[in-house]
Amino acid sequence: MRLVTVEARVLSIPFKVVFKHASAQRSAMQSLWVNVRAADGETGMGEGCPREYVTSESLETAKAFVEHYRADWLAAIHDIHSLKHWIGNHSAEIDANPAAWSAVEIALLDLMGKSTGVSIERLLDVPAVEGQFRYTAVLGDAPPAVFEAQLAHYLKAGFRDFKIKLSGDRKINCAKTYALASARIAPRSVRADANNLWRNAHEAIAHLTSLEYPFFAIEEPLEPGDHNGMREIASALGAKIIVDESALYVAHLEPLREDAHRWIVNLRVSKMGGMVRALEFVRAARNLGVQLIVGAHVGETSVLTRAAITIANLARDILVAQEGAFGTHLLEYDMVDPPLMFGPGGLLDATSLSQPGLGLGPRHTGVRGGADPLP
C-alpha cells in the first residue's frame, strides 16, 4: 500500500440536546476528522476528540500535529508493521497528541483493512468481534425535572447500567439520587462521575455521604493524579474509584498496583492515543488486576464507537461497563450510514462488523445537516 494523502479537518455536529458535566457544557460535538487515501484510490476515515481538560489538546494543536508529521507518514507507513514501528518510535509525541494520533491511526487501519480485505481485528491480531455489547445509560448534569425525564426514558428502554454526572450543588445532586432511589435502581448498577469536582478528600466525602446513596463507584472525584486522596474516599464510602484523566497511558497504571482491586480505569480510545496503544493498555491492566470501563467522549461518531468495540471485545473478562454508541440518539446526524448505535436495553449487535477495515459505510450526502459539515 502506498499512502498518498492524509487530510485533517474539524468536524462539528449539533447535539439534539445540550449535554453538561462539571468540566464542560456542549451543544455540539467537535472532533478531528481524518481521511486518508492510497495510490489505488482506496480510502480510510478516522476520528479523535481533543479535549484540553483531558489531554491538554485543542483542535488547533491536533491539526498542527497532522501538518507536522504528514510527510513522514506518507514516506514511512505502508502496512501494519511500519505503522506499529512508527508508534514505537514516537511514544512521546503521541503522549502529547493522543487524540490527534488516534484520528490518523484509525484512518490508516481502516485503509489497510480495506486494502488487504480483512477486518481491523484481523489486522491487529485480536479476537474477531461477535455477539452483543451492552451500553450504559449516561445522564448529564441536568435540572431535576430533565434528569427524571431522561431516567424514565432509559428505564422504559430497558437499560440496566447507569452513570450520572454530579454537580457541585448538593440540592441538585440529592434530587438525582432521590430519583434513582424512587425508581428502585440498585446502587450497584450506578456510578457517579464528578469530573474532578472537589479540592480534597474531606470535601468529597462530606458531599457524597450527604447524598445518602451508596454508589458502586465514583469517577475522578479529585484533581487528576491525587491517588491518595481518592483512596481515602474509596475507604470512607466503600466504593471503587474510576480514573479517567488520571490514566492516559500504561505508565499511569503503576500507582494502582498496590491496591488494584480498588480501581477501575475509564479507557477511551481517543484519550489513549489510538487502538494499538489501547490494546496494550488492556493487556497491562489485565496483568495488574485492574478492571476497565471502555468509555467515550461525549458526541463521538460511529467511527470511534467501532474502534472501541474492538477494545471492549478484547477486554471482556475485565470489563465493568461500556459507554458511548449514542449515534443519532444524540447527534443530528452521523458520519456513517447506517449509524452504529445501541438499541433497546442499551444493546448493540456486533455480528455485522466483519467487513474489511472498520466495516462502515460513509453517510449519504442527502442526510440532514448538509452534504459537507466539515469546514
In tens, the pLDDT along 46-66 reads 999 999 988 899 999 999 999
Domain ranges of the chain: 3-117, 132-349
Q: Is residue 153 predicted with pLDDT exceeding 50?
A: yes
What pLDDT does residue 24 have?
A: 60
Q: How far apart are CA 44 and CA 36, in angstroms?
A: 5
pLDDT-derived band at 374, boundaries 50, 70, 90:
very low
DSSP string, 211-233: TT---SEEE--SSTT-HHHHHHH
Q: How far apart are CA 44 and CA 269, in angstroms?
A: 17
Contacts of 229 (CB under 8 A, 6+ apart): 200, 201, 204, 222
What pLDDT does residue 373 have?
A: 29
Contacts of 182 (CB under 8 A, 6+ apart): none
Which listed CATH number (3.40.190.10, 3.40.640.10, 3.30.450.40, 3.30.390.10) goes with 3-117? 3.30.390.10
pTM here is: 0.93
What pLDDT does residue 168 have?
A: 93
What does DSSP assign to residue 128? P
Q: Is residue 21 predicted with pLDDT exceeding 80?
A: no
In tens, the pLDDT along 307-324 reads 999 999 999 999 999 999
Closest CA to 51 of 195, 243, 225: 195
pLDDT-derived band at 370, boundaries 50, 70, 90:
very low
What pLDDT does residue 23 have?
A: 55
Query: Percent of the chain having pLDDT more than 90?
Result: 89
Q: 113, 355 in Cβ contact below 8 A?
A: no
What's the per-residue H, E or C state across 307-340? HHHHHHHHCHHHEEEECCCCHHHCECCCCECCCC
Averaged confidence pLDDT in the chain: 93
pLDDT-derived band at 280, boundaries 50, 70, 90:
very high
CATH number of 132-349: 3.20.20.120
Identify which has the larger pLDDT, 370 or 157. 157
Domain 3-117 and domain 132-349, same fold? Reply is no
Q: Is residue 372 predicted with pLDDT exceeding 50?
A: no
- CB 184: neighbour CB atoms within 10 A? 7
